[in-house]
């Protein structure tokens, strides 16, 4: 283990960079002010091992926590099942739910994996963020309904991701893995003694 308290490591074996990674950054679309958003199959193709760990973590429990934005911009947290199927991450919701109205008004969301019992965070702490695209094509909805058999009627959204993050502990370090479209996976290792991180 390095003697430096904080290290940023690219998966391609590139040079380490001292300091804190810009884990919230992303590859934006020119002139749009929006981050690039991609389907789950793109994440799996770009960083398969990391994507596998993220998907496995979501698969450990059935219910997770979805964050959407209310009309006044305040966050709304609700329970949700996440379903990885056909190379996509799907978000199914009851008709008339507030989160549907939130996503129709502003499609940005974050989904936090259920941490499970205890405090050991087996498998790490995982979240994904992006934009939810409502799916209305009858054949797609019908195929999903036939496979999942959700309570009907329902609303179906496909997640387009702008970020995926996994946090876990390793020895005396808190390790943060983050991926955004157009960048390699980044890893930050830090301790509570990191002066630059105090107060965050």
pLDDT tens, residue by residue, 50-82:
999 999 999 999 899 999 999 999 999 999 998
> pLDDT tens digit string along 161-199?
999 999 998 888 889 999 999 999 999 998 877 655 543
- 65 strand-pairing partners: 79, 112
Residue 18 token pair? 């001292």
Specify the pLDDT at position 192.
Answer: 75
The two beta strands, 17-18 and 88-94, are unpaired
Backbone CA torsion sign across 87, 42, 77, 32: negative
Neighbouring CB atoms inside 10 A of 1's CB total 9
Q: What is the pTM of this model?
A: 0.79
Q: Are the beta carbons of 23 and 6 closer than 8 angstroms?
A: no
Please report where in the chains the tokens 């430096």 appear, as a residue. Answer: 4
Distance (Å, whole) CA 162 – CA 129: 6
> pLDDT tens digit string along 81-116?
989 999 999 999 999 899 999 999 999 999 999 988
Phi, psi of 129 (to 5 degrees): -135, 160
Please report where in the chains the tokens 């995926």 appear, as a residue. Answer: 164
Closest CA to 9 of 170, 200, 127: 170
- 175 strand-pairing partners: 168, 189
Neighbouring CB atoms inside 10 A of 109's CB total 24
Task: Name the percent of the chain lying above pLDDT 90.
Answer: 66
How far is Cα of residue 138 from the mean position of the Cα atoms in its chain?
A: 27
- 112 strand-pairing partners: 65, 127
């Amino acid at each position: 283990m390095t003697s430096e308290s904080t290290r940023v490591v690219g998966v391609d074996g590139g040079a380490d960079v001292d300091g804190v990674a810009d884990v919230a950054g992303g590859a934006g679309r020119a002139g749009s002010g929006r981050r690039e958003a991609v389907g789950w199959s793109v994440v799996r193709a770009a960083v398969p091992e990391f994507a596998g760990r993220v998907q496995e973590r979501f698969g450990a429990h059935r219910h997770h926590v979805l964050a959407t934005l209310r009309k006044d911009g305040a966050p709304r947290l609700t329970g949700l099942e996440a379903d990885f199927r056909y190379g996509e991450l799907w978000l199914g919701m009851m008709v008339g739910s507030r989160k549907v109205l939130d996503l129709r008004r502003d499609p940005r969301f974050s989904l936090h994996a259920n941490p499970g019992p205890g405090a050991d965070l087996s498998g790490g702490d995982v979240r994904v963020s992006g934009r939810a695209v409502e799916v209305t094509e009858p054949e797609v909805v019908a195929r999903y309904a036939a496979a999942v058999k959700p309570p009907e009627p329902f609303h179906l959204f496909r997640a387009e991701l702008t970020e995926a993050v996994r946090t876990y502990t390793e020895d005396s370090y808190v390790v943060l893995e983050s991926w955004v479209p157009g960048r390699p996976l980044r890893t930050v290792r830090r301790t509570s003694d990191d002066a630059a991180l105090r107060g965050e």
